Structure formats: C-alpha cells, structure tokens
Amino acid sequence: MKVSTKKYTYKERCCLPDFLYVVKLLYVKDRRNSLLYFITNLLGAPILFAELFTTKYVVDLIQNFNPNAYQHILLIVSLLMLVLYLAGLNSSLRAISITNLTSTSIYELEHSILDKTSKLSTALLEDPATKTKREKAKRLYLIDLLDQWTGVTVQLITLVALMVVLSVYGFYILVLIILGVQILQLYTMKRMSQRIEAISADQTSSVRMINYLVDLLVNRNTIPEVRMYRMSSYLVSSMKESFTSNFKQRHRKVIYSESLNFSHSLIMILLNGITIAILAITIGNSGQSAGLFVLLLQISSQLFIVIPALTRVYSDLAKSRLRYEDYTSYLDLEEQVLRDQEVNSNRNTDPMKVHVDQMYFRYPTNANNTLSNINMTIHPGERIAFVGENGSGKSTLVKLILGLYPATAGNIQWFKGENEVLAHNVTQDTRVVFQDFIKLQRPIRENIALGNMATIHDDSRLLSAMRTAEADHYGVALDTLVGPQFGGIDLSGGQWQRLAIARAYLNDGALMIFDEPTAALDPYAEQQAFDTFMKLGEQQTSIIVTHRLYMSKFVDRIFLFEDGEIVESGTHEELMRVDGKYKKMFNRQSSLYV
Amino acid sequence: MRKEGFVLKSDISNIVMILVRMVRKSPVISTITIIVPIISGLLTFYSYAVQVNIINGVARGVITLLPILWFVVIHGVQACSLSITNLMKNRMNAELTLAFQSELIDIANRVDFEDFDDEEFGNKLQRAKKVVGEDLEGITGFLVSSVGIISGLLSIIWLSATSGYLLVTFVVTIMIVTTLSIRLFTEIKVRRTGRELTFDGRMGDYLANTLEDPNAIREMRIYNSISYFTNLWAMIMKKQHNKRFSARKFEIKTGMVVAMVQTSAIFIVLVYLLSRMGESNTVTVGTISVLFLALLSSGGKIMSLTWPLSKLYISSSKLYDLNEVLTYKNRDFRKNDINNSTDSMLPITVSNVYFKYAKSNKNVLSNINMTIKPGEKIAIVGENGAGKSTLIKILLGQYRPSSGTICWKDHLEPHGKVSVVFQNAVKFELTLRENILLGDANTPSDDAKILRVLEQCELIDLLHELGGLDVNLGQLVVGSRQLSGGQWQKLAIARALYNDAELIVFDEPTSAIDPNAEMEIYTKLLEICQDKAAIFISHRLGWAKNVDTIYVMNNGGIAEVGNHQDLVHHKGIYSNMYALQSSWYK
C-alpha cells in the first residue's frame, strides 16, 4: 500500500464538517483510490439507466422478431453486453477502491488515537472515563462515514430519476402510491421495533453471568478448585437456569420481530403485485411493447429497493456522524506538557534534590485528600524508604515526585545542583521500577532497551545491563521472544523483574525509584530487588516504597505514612528509640523470627 | 508453538463433523432449519415461470390476473418461510450452544489432571469454548443462508432447462459454477490474511493494546520510549496491510475475469435462443426476458453466497479444536472420590513415591516417604520448583504416582473430605453466601454454619457492611461490591472451613495479606484447624516453629524432616534458610 507520507495533522482540519474531513484525509493519503471511488460512484446511476433502456430495446426486438433483422439484433445485443460488462467492471473497481480506502482509513484512525493516547496527561490516562471515550472513538469507521454520505446522495439522485422516468410514461399516481405506502411502512416499523428493543434491555448482564459460569467450569486457572470441591453440579445448574430464562426472553423478542418483518414483507408483496397488475393491464391493453413493460417493471422494483435502502443508509449515516463526534471529542482531550528535548552533550547528572512544601493532593475523581500536609526535603544522594500500609499514600507521593500529577495545594520543587528542574522534565533522568512494570511479549532486547531506546542495537551495553541485574542466567539470545502470547519463553515473576531492573542499568540517573518491588515474589527475589536498590543508590538519590520493614534498616531516612500523612520520620535507630508506630510494626514483622 | 499465525487446518471434514454432531443433538429442528430454505429457494423457479406468463401475456395483449395472483402467493410463502427459518435458527443455536457447552464442561470436569496441566490442552479447551460461545451462531447462520442461495441458483439452472435446449442449460451451469469457484477462491485467499489470523496482525493489535494501558504509558513516558513502539506498530500494521493488499490485487484481476465470464455466458445464451426463436414454442419473449434478468441477478446471488461460504471455510479451522476436545469424551477417566464420600481418609501413607509427567523423562518427585496422621500440623517448605505443589496433587489423588504407593486410610483409591486454600484462590463473582457454600455445594445450604464460619474468619464485619449474605461480590453484576485482596483470601479460608474436612491444605495463605498481619493470620489458622490435620506450604519460615512436622523439599525430594528445633540443630538446608530470613530482622 503506497501510503502518502504527506503531513496532514488533525489540527489543520479541526473545524471541517465530517464529510470534508474524510474526503480531504483520504485524498491526501491515497489520491488514486479516492479518485477511483468518486468516479465509479458517479458512473453508477448512468450505467444503471443505460442497462435498463438497452434491455427495453432488446426485449422489443425480441417481441417483434424479424428473422431478417438478425444482424441488427446482434448489434443491439452486443451493445447490451458492453453495457453489462461496463457495469460489472465499474462495480469491481468501486469495490476495490473501497477496500483500499478502508485499509488506509483504519490505519489513520488507529494511528491518530494511539498517538493521542500516548500524549494524554496522567490524570486523564488513569481516569476510567477516558478509556470509555477511547472505546467510543474507536467505533468510528471513516470509510463508512464517507460511503454513507456518498450512498445517501447517489440513492437520492437515483430515486428522483426513477420517479421521473415512471412519471414521464404517465404513471405518476403509481409513483405516489408506492412512495406513500413505503414511507408509512418505514415509520410504523421504526416505532414497533423500538418497542421490541425495550423488551430485551437487560440481556447483557445475564449473558455475562452465563459466560462467567461457563468460564469458571472450563478455565485451567479455576478448574483445580472447582473440581476439588465438586462445585460443578451446582454451577452447571445455575448456568442452565440462567441460560433457559435468557433464551425464553430472547425467543420472545425474535418472535415479535419476525412477525413484524413478515407483515411488513406481506404488505410490500401485495403492493408489488398491484404494481405489476396495473402496469400489465395498462401497457398490455394499449398494445404497447413488452419491452416497455419489462423496463417499467424493473424501475418499479428498483423503487422497492431504493427507498428502504435510502432510509437505512440515512440512519447509518446519523449513527456514523455521532461516532465522528465521539472521535473528535477524544482528539480534543488535554495533552500533557512535553518534555524538553534532551541535549546529550552537557547532561547534568547530579543527584536530584526534592523539596516538598505543605503539599496536599486529591485525585480528581475522589472526594477526600489522598495526601495531606506533606513536608520533606530529600537531599542529593540520599537513600529514602517510604513505608506504611496499603492505601497510606506512598505510591501516590511517588507519582507526584515524578512530576506526573500537579499538587492540589502546596509545592514541590526539584533541583539538580544549582539548577531547578521543571515538573515536566523530572523524568528525564529518573529510573523507576514500578510494581506493575511492563512485561513486553516481544524480544528480550526490546524489554531491556525500553529503558533507553538509543541502546536498542548496542548489544554489549544491553548484555552488560543484563549481567548486572543477574537476568542472564538462562543464557538466551537478545532476540528471543519472551512471554507466552506469541509463543515465546515463559518467564517467572522473578525473571521478569530482573529484566525490568536491567532497564535501570542502562543509563545514569539523578533519581531512582523502586515502587513495592516485592509484592507476591518469593523472598529470594525480594532480597535481590533490594540489593539492586542499594547498589544503584550509590550514585543518585533513591527512594524505595515498601511494606517489608527489614529493608528500611539500611536506608538513610524512613518516612512512615498513615492515611495520607507522614506520622513518623527518621533513621531506623531513631524510630526504634521513639517507641512509636514504626517500632510496633517492626516488632510485629520480626516476631515471626524471634 | 504455532509460528506463522494459526496453521489453518482447513479440512472441510471439521465442518462436516460438527454438522453431524449438530444434527444428532437436535434432529427435528436442524432438519426444519435446513429444509425450509431449500424449498423456499426452489420456489423461485415457480416465481420465474409465473413471470414468463405475465410477460408473454403483455406481449400478446392478453392479460389474466391469475399469474399475478400466483406471483403474490409464491412470494408470500417465501417471506413466511424466511421468518420460520429465523425462528428455528434461533432455537437451534440455543439448543446447540447449551449442548456443546455442557459437553465441554463435562469433559473439563472429568479429564485426568495431568492432561489438564498440559498447557496445550488447556489452550485447546479455551479455544473450543470460544468457538461454541462466539462462532457457533455464525456457523448456523452461514449454513442456512448458503443453502438458501444455492437452491436459488439451482432454480435459475432449472429455468434455463425449460428453454428446452441443452446447450443453454450447460452454459448457464458452467457460468454459475465457474463464477462461484473463482470468487470463493479469491475470498478465502483474502480472508487468510485477516488480522486475527496472521502473526503480524495479532502482534500489531497486542502493541496497540499495550500502548493504551496507562501503566505501560507511564513507564514508557518516563523512559521516553513511546515513539519507538508507536513506530513499530505502524511498521507492523503496514506490513499486514500490504499482505492483505496483494491478496486484494489478486481479487481485482479475478473480478475482471468473472465479469467477462458472466457477460460472455449471457451473450451466448441470448444469441443462441434468439437464433432458435422461430422454430421452438418453448422459447418466447417471456422466457428470454426472464432468463436474461435471472442471469443478471445470478451475479449478485453468487456474491452474497461467497461471503457465508468463505466464512464457513475459515471457521472450519477453529472447529478443529472443538472436534479434538470432544473426542476426549470417549476416554476412560480415573476415579477420584475426594470430597465425594465422607469416609475417613487419614492417615495418608506415602511410600517410595516417584512422579514424572507422561511426556518427560525427568522425575519431578523422587523417593517421597511421608505420613499424615489425624490432627497433625505439617509444614512443607522449599524454593520455587522444589516440587511442593506436585506433592500436594499426589496427596489429593489428582496425580497418580509413576511408582510407589499412597494409601488413604488403607485404601488405594483417594476418598474422603479435603479442603484446599489455593494460592490464587478463585474470587467467585457471585453472592457472599455462594462464595462460602461452594465449599460443600452438594449439601443444602446451612445458614447457621455459614455464619459460624464467617465469624471464625473474622468476616462478620464484612457481612454487616454488605448488609446480607445475598449481596453480589466482584464486578460482574451491577451493584456488586469489590473486596480487597485480604478479604478474598479470608473468604477462601472460610470456604475451606465450611467443607468440614479432616485435612486442610494452605498454599501460601498470606501472600495477599499485609505482612504486618502475617503472624496473626498464622496463629489464627492453627487455632481454626484445632483437631483437623493441616498442611501449610510456604516460603516464609517464621511460623514453622509451631507445627508438628516440617518437610523440607529440594529438587523433587524430601531433604529434611523434623520439627523446628531438630532441624535448626541439624544445621542443614532448613537451618540456613531460617538463619537468612531471620537475619533480615535482627
């Protein structure tokens, strides 16, 4: 697919109506197919009428068959064949242009959404409402939008032409009858089908329950427990009960809608019959040609097709336009401030100093403050531990220290040596190992180079980082795929963590953060993670977030969090002397071994 | 491992096998659902015949309303049969889905555990389940529409036969068959490059999903690697599109060929009939016109036939997994009466047991000797991969030893009541009551017992917070309440207690619980178990001081046995592990 690389950013066309937006986009990205699309669409109606009239001519010739005029007939028939072939060719070319434009438009849509998502502010990213908006935006099919606009126009023109032709031959009353009945039908159908929809409003939740129960009974993660406790018969009968009642509801809906469809079809068939009768009698009696009959018969059949098609396309268009609104509103979401471009030559990697002054923070979606009255100064090169129970605010403070969120009240400042670092630049020299670090189902190389994309082809650096993180015990090549999803090697939790740690060894940093690196790991992997923290902390400011207090014995300062506030701070010795909450927690944890 | 996407095991036999199973499961409805569209399609012939009469009538200036009446009746019958088919189809789908799901569930419930732990079987079962849930409905739909359209095409051939000339019939048949084959072949070729089937397509979708995950974006932003992966995605998608595009280019060429074939065939038929018009009375204006119009419409019919047929063809590869799994039905499965009988099962004696998986040569367990006496508290410790979980499976009768014996109170067949609190215990997104009673689901629900058990596990507060036993938990149903990791784990313990078993196994029971509460939980567990036998599996040795016997596992064997004092004095593996773990807190 030769995709044009011409730039055409969203901002340039933000205020265009949807039709023009799509047309311009596709024209810029794929000119040939866009032109082909429009030409074939334009030719559609004329070719149809050429087909109809040539057929009429041929049928007349057959009716008034004269063996002498054989050559004449052959000529006309060949002409008809030519028209038919052109019609076939035209629709093939149209189909081809559509499939090509579809590929282009899907790619462009997905790319624009992906790009936008990667630029959203942290607050928006973590808000579940954003995900819903994104899912809605993805439902747009740009090519459908274009095709529906074109469809509506073309169908409308065809409809008018058909009506004109029929009227020219004197059947304008027939036209009005057909039009009237159709419109009435469509209106009543719409009303009735809305009522039918209301019947089965609650189907989705019962379907989800049924699928959930079936999954429990078949999934290898749940089966050991299900079988051991012999839960199967209970769950199965639950499932069957739900299924049967769901089916009854659904079947009722199907019966109603089928009855509706049937009565609708019956009326159309009667109307069709009456049309044929009228045409047959009028034309037959007036001694006019069979060709005319065939022509008008075909035209009136087309009317039966075009009018419902037009309504369908119109309502689809309305839906697509709404989806377009969802799409543009997603693209209008707030972006975060971009990091300043990195200037490699004079990289200042002095350890970071962080100063937090009377800071309060509340998540946009919460009512209460997650953090209150935080005051701390982290000196360059210090090793810090944030401890406290789950939900005490430690991880949130880390995000704020990374500059990912702005404080709700109060101040955070960062300094490298004498220079102040702005919030959006903090992550430039920061290395983080998150609790839920990325496990990329891609080559090992990419998993590690994630830490510093410039080293993606620098094998020696990648390997040395792996060695330092002790991630190379299984001795596989850098280009091996890891992760089960694409048939790569399966790694244990500890092995994945060592890869994530290897990322941290790829570049120098001013600030290093380890967020709960020990959850759900065996004690030996835990200790390894802690060793890494200590090793890396030799050159930079480092913070570890943990609830295993044996780690906090070795850091320079500990901050104990409770309900979003710092309740105690100091070294391990100081806090043990204070005889407060920290000491109690430490004793509880060590009581296992005393 | 499957390399290039999914190898399409596109045997038509897959479809046929499923069809046979479908018909066997609901014979009456299947027959109606298939027969009705066939008849309806063949009725089209009569509709053509009637149209011939009408046109001839007009041509001669003699109009009778009878043919028009017939026209209306035939179309009415066709509309009616369409509705009937849809009704039957809906019913058929429901019956078949339920029947197939029940079979899969039954197989999952009875298959030997070793087969289940084989990842390939587990994946196959998942795919089979997916097919039944998602694709079965489509398959019946495609089948029905294909059958209907094919009989419609047969009507056209029949119509051409009424012209009385073999050549005409022959040409028409050839035209329909060739057009259909070419289009079908092209369509399948294109479908094979579908996104869900190719490696590139799936990788692209995976990357797109990763790039939408807030956690991934956060980490990538910090390391400034987003643009690399976005470009990677773009490159993979373009490759995918190009593959599809070259399949589509093929479609272009064949499209032109098809158009040629169709128009030539129509041309031949028309000219031939015209030349024979004088000498035959079966060839009238009506015949030629209707045949001509019918042949024109055949193109559209064929187009609408290739879609369901090609989808059926592609679906047949998905059906491969379903067929394979369903053949398991005929195997013999091992008998296991654990939790199916209330006989006593203790003491359990394990003698010289070895275990290896059928497909491998390496022993996972070697020379295991062990006794579990009534009321004994046991700890099994060791590193990851030492064989702890496999040993439990042997004790529960889930795996059969490759050699050696194991007796449950002198019986060689596993029986008796056991409860297990798994490490990743299932969080049943059902009601609170169900989460507990599923521990012993085959006896009637005993509310008093449920409350007792909740109290023992310190979950009464939760009950009051929720407001009742019949509140939904999790996030499946609207209005469900989400629980914390610790609460779910306590629920799993409550469930185990509800079963009133002689033996309870705890597999890493504090992994989700705040380390500050670990000691308390272990104390509580020992208390709860009272007179039952209990096995604790863990990495952390802190509380092992309080059990009766500790088994230290290493490389599939039992390296040390004894209580805490003995093992510390022994100065072996246990002693080292304990020293290391306790040193952290000194």
What backbone phi and psi angles, to 5 degrees, belong to A526? Answer: -55, -50
Amino acid identity, position A401: I
Mean local confidence (pLDDT), B532-536: 92
Tokens found for residue A472: 């190379």
Q: CB atoms < 10 A from the CB of A265, how many?
A: 17
Of A70, A103, A269, Cβ closest to residue B72: A269
Please, where in chain B does CATH 3.40.50.300 lie?
A: 348-583
Tokens found for residue A309: 């098609």
How much is the pLDDT for A347? 61
ipTM: 0.87
For residue A348, pLDDT over 70 is answered with: no
Which chain B residue lies closest to A259 (C-alpha atoms)? B83
Give the minimum alpha-carbon distance from B544 to chain A in angstroms, rounded to a whole number. 9
Q: What is the CATH number of domain A10-331?
A: 1.20.1560.10
Q: Which of residues 321-350 of A touch B (CB under 8 A)?
A: 339, 342
* Residue A390 touches chain B, beta carbons under 8 Å: yes
Provide the CA A179 distance to its chain's centre, in angstroms. 42
SS (H, E, C) B204-260: HHHHHHHCCCHHHHHHHHHHCCHHHHHHHHHHHHHHHHHHHHHHHHHHHHHHHHHHH
Interatomic CA distance for residues B586 and B584, integer angstroms:
6
Which site among A113, A229, A394, A448 would you substitute to test the B interface, given the most B Cβ atoms closer than 10 Å to its Cβ?
Answer: A229
Mean local confidence (pLDDT), A445-465: 89
How much is the pLDDT for A521? 62
How much is the pLDDT for B4? 33
Interatomic CA distance for residues B546 and A426, integer angstroms:
50
* Band of pLDDT at residue A7, cut at 50, 70 and 90: very low
How much is the pLDDT for B5? 34
Mean local confidence (pLDDT), B459-469: 88
Interchain pair B83, A261: CB under 8 A:
yes
Mean local confidence (pLDDT), A270-281: 89
Total-model pTM? 0.81
Interatomic CA distance for residues A568 and A589, integer angstroms:
18
Pairing mode, if any, of strands A565-570 and A419-421? unpaired
Interatomic CA distance for residues A181 and A162, integer angstroms:
17
Give the minimum alpha-carbon distance from B557 to chain A in angstroms, rounded to a whole number. 20
Give the minimum alpha-carbon distance from A321 to chain B in angstroms, rounded to a whole number. 25
Given a contact cutoff of 8 angstroms between Cβ atoms, the answer to whether B285 and A62 are in contact is yes
Q: CB atoms < 10 A from the CB of A253, how many?
A: 17
Mean local confidence (pLDDT), A184-198: 80
Interatomic CA distance for residues B280 and B16, integer angstroms:
45
Of B113, B222, B230, Cβ closest to residue A118: B230
Given a contact cutoff of 8 angstroms between Cβ atoms, the answer to whether A560 and A530 are in contact is no
Decide if A10-331 and A352-590 have a common fold. Answer: no
Residues B403-414: pLDDT tens digits?
999 998 888 888
Of B58, B242, B384, Cβ closest to residue A1: B242
Domain boundaries, chain A: 10-331, 352-590
- Chain B residue numbers with beta carbons less than 8 Å from the beta carbon of A520 are 511-512
Instruction: Give the DSSP letter of residue A540.
Output: S
For residue A351, pLDDT over 90 is answered with: no
Architecture per CATH, A352-590:
3-Layer(aba) Sandwich (3.40)
User: Is residue A273 helix, strand or coil?
Assistant: helix
Burial class (CB in 10 A: 0-12, 13-18, 19+), A220: middle
Residues A106-160: pLDDT tens digits?
999 999 999 999 889 888 888 878 888 898 899 899 999 999 999 999 999 999 9
Least confident of A117-121, A266-270, B19-23: B19-23
Interchain pair A62, B104: CB under 8 A:
no
Of B2, B58, B442, Cβ closest to residue A280: B58
Of B71, B219, B426, Cβ closest to residue A225: B426
Go through A317-335 and write b for each residue having 16 or more CB atoms within 10 A of its CB, e for each that does not: beebbebbebbbebeebee
Which chain A residue lies closest to B383 (C-alpha atoms)? A522
- Chain A residue numbers with beta carbons less than 8 Å from the beta carbon of B470 are none
Which chain B residue lies closest to A122 (C-alpha atoms)? B218
Q: A381 vs A394, A525, A570, CA distance in Å?
A: 20, 25, 16
- Per DSSP, the residues of B122-177 read HHHHHHHHHIIIIIHHHHHHHHHHHHHHHHHHHHHHHHHHTTT-HHHHHHHHHHHH
CA-CA-CA-CA torsion sign (A326, A332, A334, A337): positive
Which chain A residue lies closest to B234 (C-alpha atoms)? A111
HSE value, Cβ hemisphere, 13 Å, CA-based, for B288:
30
Given a contact cutoff of 8 angstroms between Cβ atoms, the answer to whether B30 and B23 are in contact is yes
What backbone phi and psi angles, to 5 degrees, belong to B234? Answer: -60, -40
User: Is residue B291 helix, strand or coil?
Assistant: helix
Domain B348-583 in CATH 1.10.10.10:
no
How much is the pLDDT for A230? 92
Interatomic CA distance for residues A58 and B270, integer angstroms:
10
What backbone phi and psi angles, to 5 degrees, belong to A555? Answer: -95, 170
Tokens found for residue A448: 């590690």
**Radius of gyration of chain B, Cα coordinates, nearest whole angstrom:** 35
Provide the CA B20 distance to its chain's centre, in angstroms. 20
Given a contact cutoff of 8 angstroms between Cβ atoms, the answer to whether B142 and B309 are in contact is yes
> CA angle at residue A201 from A188 to A184, to 5 degrees?
5
Given a contact cutoff of 8 angstroms between Cβ atoms, the answer to whether B269 and A84 are in contact is no
Q: A50 vs A172, A283, A324, CA distance in Å?
A: 22, 22, 37
User: Is residue B193 helix, strand or coil?
Assistant: coil
* Residue A256 touches chain B, beta carbons under 8 Å: no
* Band of pLDDT at residue A356, cut at 50, 70 and 90: very high
For residue A344, pLDDT over 70 is answered with: no
Closest CA to B436 of B402, B464, B470: B470
